[in-house]
Amino acid sequence: MMMRQPWSGQLAVFAASAMAIGSFAFASAVLGQAPLAATDIGKAVQVQPELAFDRNHDFVTWQQKLRGRLRSILAIPNDWEPDVRWSATRDSDNERYTTDRIEFVAEPGEVVPGYLLRPKGVKPPLPVMICLQGHSPGMHISIGRGKTPGEIASIKGGRDIAIQAVARGWAALAIEQRAFGERAVPGISCNDVALRELLKGRPLTGQRVFDVMRAVDFIATQPDLDGKRIGCMGNSAGGTVSFYAACVDERTQLAVVSCSFGTFEATWLYRKHCACGYLPGLLKVADMPDLAGLVAPRHLILVAGKKDHIARFDGVQKGYGTARRAFEQAGCPNHVVLLAAEGGHQFYPDLAWPVIQRSLNK
């Protein structure tokens, strides 16, 4: 019987992997107890991304190359059957919206549970927001169903994003991400799952992105939902997956990325993170702000807290500058927006929703 490696041992192995691809700052940060200083990070990160945004490159050709590389790093399957097996049962019905409990098959052995909320009194086809929780108890937080006092309190931090969407006339599809909530295995953290999946060559983030792509396939089966007005949103790890999904799947017309965007040196290289968000070799290909150019000419809304202890605001501002230049070259500078609140690591509905509504002319 193999003994489970202690957390410190897992960190050491993963840090060694990071060093092997040039991520010296991450290796130092993940093994320490405190974030690295920005000056230390600047000295440690010595990788020039191969496909960094450059105004002198043909924009469309650059997008095609970078999108292909990102899909490869995420290990997105090259071909899959767009038809999706699904089921739905009525969960609840009130004066404002209906809620269906749904399931669809993403790939063999992976059934994605979720909730589909439809507003009443809104003429179809309805715009759809795919709602993703980050490191939380699960998708029930998105629909405002806290099961404990702690969960109920967490919802007050703007985490009931599906309820927010349906209240504004959107259909909302809240799905459970792999290794979270109902898809978690008791006693096995998403960090453990992520490390194991890396051995198989499929980063956990890539699998979560693929689930979002299959959610888009599911949306196409619903005649009252508008396949031309699909958004994806989330905070923290939910924002990370929303971002990468929009980068690789052009059917997503809007990404709302909350407290999860910035330069890698001010986010993933800045402090300890769960292994579920790391993508092997990505730093050598592009920084996150470069990747933002893959969303153009669609809409990208970046939400940030100036006091966020996980995604430093200086990195958000710097990253937004690069993203803005990429969108300018695409001819749509106003399709990328940075919304900054004075608080910390949470979503800010009052700040974000007016911009979301304008973006797709809801």
pLDDT digit string, tens, across residues 206-244: 999 999 999 999 999 999 999 999 999 999 999 999 999
- Domain of residue 121 covers 86-359
pLDDT in tens, the chain (362 residues): 334 344 334 434 344 344 333 333 333 333 333 454 444 444 445 678 999 999 999 999 999 999 999 999 999 999 888 899 999 999 999 999 999 999 999 999 999 999 999 999 999 999 999 999 999 999 999 999 999 999 999 898 899 999 999 999 999 999 999 999 999 999 999 999 999 999 999 999 999 999 999 999 999 999 999 999 999 999 999 999 999 999 999 999 999 999 999 999 999 998 888 999 999 999 999 999 999 999 999 999 999 999 999 999 999 999 999 999 999 999 999 999 999 999 999 999 999 999 999 998 75
Is 51 within the bounds of a domain? no
Distance, in Å, from the CA atom of 233 to the CA atom of 129, rounded to the nearest integer, reads 7
Residue 162, domain member (yes or no) = yes
Question: Which DSSP state fits 220?
Answer: T
Distances (CA, A) of 224 to 114, 126, 220, 338: 18, 6, 9, 32
Residue at 178 is within a domain:
yes
Question: 117 has which bridge partners?
Answer: 99, 172
Domain membership of residue 216 (yes or no) is: yes
CA distance 35 to 89: 46
* 194, β-bridge pairs: none
Sheet holding 110-119, edge to edge: 86-93, 97-107, 110-119, 171-175, 126-132, 225-235, 254-258, 299-305, 336-341
- Distance of alpha carbon 304 from alpha carbon 231, whole angstroms: 18
Give residue-wise pLDDT tens across range 95-104: 999 999 999 9
Cα 197 to Cα 209: distance, rounded to the nearest angstrom: 14
Q: Is residue 73 part of a domain?
A: no
The reply to whether 149 falls in a domain is yes
* Rounded Cα–Cα distance for residues 127 and 259 (Å): 24
CATH of the domain at 241: 3.40.50.1820
Residue 231, in any domain of the structure: yes
Q: Is 80 inside any structural domain? A: no
Question: What are 57's two structure tokens?
Answer: 């490159």
How many domains is the chain built from?
1
Q: Where are the beta strands (DSSP E) in the chain?
A: 86-93, 97-107, 110-119, 126-132, 171-175, 225-235, 254-258, 299-305, 336-341
Q: How far is CA 30 from the centre of its chain?
A: 21
